[in-house]
Chain A
């Protein structure tokens, strides 16, 4: 581990699907404790960028350094690094054939070799935190969207990650459930969790983000602190985007 504060460093990241270039050389640095919020129009490449960070999408070229290791190197055991990178999906992706408690303990028991009791104790503490301890023995199909997403967040947290990646975590939710999920994410940020969040929630970006990134046509067009970013956008494309969404 290097002594500096950089947790993830992205170096000239390119990704093509067939002949379509989605990312055209993205550079970024995420420090420990940062909350990087990635915004952009749909199809801009922001989700692809996020999914490249834990190699769910394999980059076409470029490097991603996580805790000092280039994880795009084929000789690196990506599964070990993924344990340290929690991910939350738009569609929740809870395991429907397992109870909530089993969803939370599967990773810790199988991958972190925690005992069943230990994993369950941690899981219950996490469920308590998001107010869902009473749903521990329910199956995902019995939960509301907001509950599912809160479970998905604590499932990732149960692995004790160093960074949490959020891929439009509130986009599939009914409007009245967005708040409860954002509340959990705000809490996490307050506790100092490093986060990368792809979202359309500008309120969240402004309030919680430490570093806002605007992605358009596969490159980072503008980047800055929330205040600067929202109050004084420089590029015409960002101005246009903000005028549409705010």
Chain B
């Protein structure tokens, strides 16, 4: 029995203490968080823009003829957004990441920027569809009431439609960011030392699989739990108007 505890103690020391491996894990965590946060921001901004284009097209032009010059522009931009969503959703994120790193950033090989952009652009495609579904779920009467007061399309979106849509889509949006946290675990493919990469590195150096991998799994779990908790809190706050 003492040998058993001794070997566990040894594994623990090798995994965390030797060569300051706990510090490596911490740095890996920071890289994971950095990629996630920046990608989420890119995803939200770009996703909302795409969603606005797509739902404006759905509401104003679908099944109708273009009459103004701006109609043709909208139609073209909408077609591009559709293409974008199709390609992004139709290919694995790790391939997108490698294309970004080995082709787009071939000369600089800037891994972190490549990761920001490819995870952000990937997330944007999903966010766009979530936001669009939220906008389309708002009753047409809300739109008409706002327009009948004299608000233009843009103000109607800003003051009436998007705030209500945001409340409806918050759970789906939260889900998307939870997925994003875990998707960043392939960042090691472009030489980034994120949490998963560091965990695997420690495993290969120490020939210990249990501690490094379980630790990494637990850290992801804790991040997701914290994120879920924050989202639930936000949801409750936004729900204050439905009694």
A and B interact? yes
Question: A residues bordering B, Cβ < 8 Å?
Answer: 54, 56, 74, 79-80, 82-83, 85-87, 89, 91, 93-98, 106-107, 110-111, 139, 141-142, 152, 155-156, 159, 165
Q: Would B149 and A93 count as touching, CB distance under 8 A? A: no
Which of A74, A107, A139 is close to B150, meaning CB atoms less than 8 Å apart? A107
Q: Tell me which residues across on chain A come within 8 A of B242, comparing CB atoms.
A: 96, 139, 141
Q: Would A82 and B141 count as touching, CB distance under 8 A? A: no
Q: Which residue of A lies closest to B143 (CB)?
A: A93
Q: Would B151 and A56 count as touching, CB distance under 8 A? A: no
Q: Would B144 and A111 count as touching, CB distance under 8 A? A: no
Tell me the chain B residues, 112-156 only, with Cβ under 8 Å from chain A: 139, 141-142, 144-152, 155
**Is B159 in contact with chain A by the CB < 8 A criterion?**
yes
Task: List 19 extra interface pairs beyond A86-B148, A106-B159, CB under 8 A.
Answer: A83-B149, A87-B148, A89-B145, A93-B139, A93-B141, A94-B145, A95-B146, A96-B241, A96-B242, A97-B163, A97-B167, A97-B241, A106-B149, A107-B149, A107-B150, A139-B241, A142-B243, A155-B149, A156-B149
Q: Tell me which residues across on chain B come within 8 A of A110, comparing CB atoms.
A: 151, 155, 159
**Is B88 in contact with chain A by the CB < 8 A criterion?**
no
A152 CA / B151 CA spacing, docked (Å): 16
A152 CA / B148 CA spacing, docked (Å): 12
**Is B164 in contact with chain A by the CB < 8 A criterion?**
yes
Q: Would A111 and B150 count as touching, CB distance under 8 A? A: yes
A97 CA / B142 CA spacing, docked (Å): 11
Q: Would A111 and B151 count as touching, CB distance under 8 A? A: yes
Q: Tell me which residues across on chain A come within 8 A of B151, comparing CB atoms.
A: 79, 107, 110-111
Give B177 Cβ to nearest chain A Cβ, in Å.
23
Q: Tell me which residues across on chain B come within 8 A of A74, comparing CB atoms.
A: 68
Q: Tell me which residues across on chain A come within 8 A of B145, comparing CB atoms.
A: 87, 89, 93-95, 152
**Is B223 in contact with chain A by the CB < 8 A criterion?**
no
Q: Would A89 and B144 count as touching, CB distance under 8 A? A: yes
Q: Which residue of A lies closest to B140 (CB)?
A: A93
Which of A54, A80, A96, A111 is close to B164, meaning CB atoms less than 8 Å apart? A96
Give B72 Cβ to nearest chain A Cβ, in Å.
16
Given contacts A110-B159, A139-B241, A83 and B142 within 8 Å (CB-CB)? no
Give A137 Cβ to nearest chain B Cβ, in Å.
11
**Is B227 in contact with chain A by the CB < 8 A criterion?**
no
A204 CA / B218 CA spacing, docked (Å): 70
**Is B98 in contact with chain A by the CB < 8 A criterion?**
no
Q: Would A82 and B159 count as touching, CB distance under 8 A? A: no
A94 CA / B159 CA spacing, docked (Å): 13
A54 CA / B159 CA spacing, docked (Å): 21
**Is B61 in contact with chain A by the CB < 8 A criterion?**
no
Q: Which residue of B lies closest to A55 (CB)?
A: B147
Which of A80, A85, A142 is close to B148, meaning CB atoms less than 8 Å apart? A85
Tell me the chain B residues, 71-96 only, with Cβ under 8 Å from chain A: none
A89 CA / B144 CA spacing, docked (Å): 9
A45 CA / B146 CA spacing, docked (Å): 23
Q: Would B144 and A83 count as touching, CB distance under 8 A? A: no
Q: Would B144 and A93 count as touching, CB distance under 8 A? A: yes
Query: B21-37: contact bitstring with A at CB < 8 Å (1 yes, 0 no)?
Result: 00000000000000000
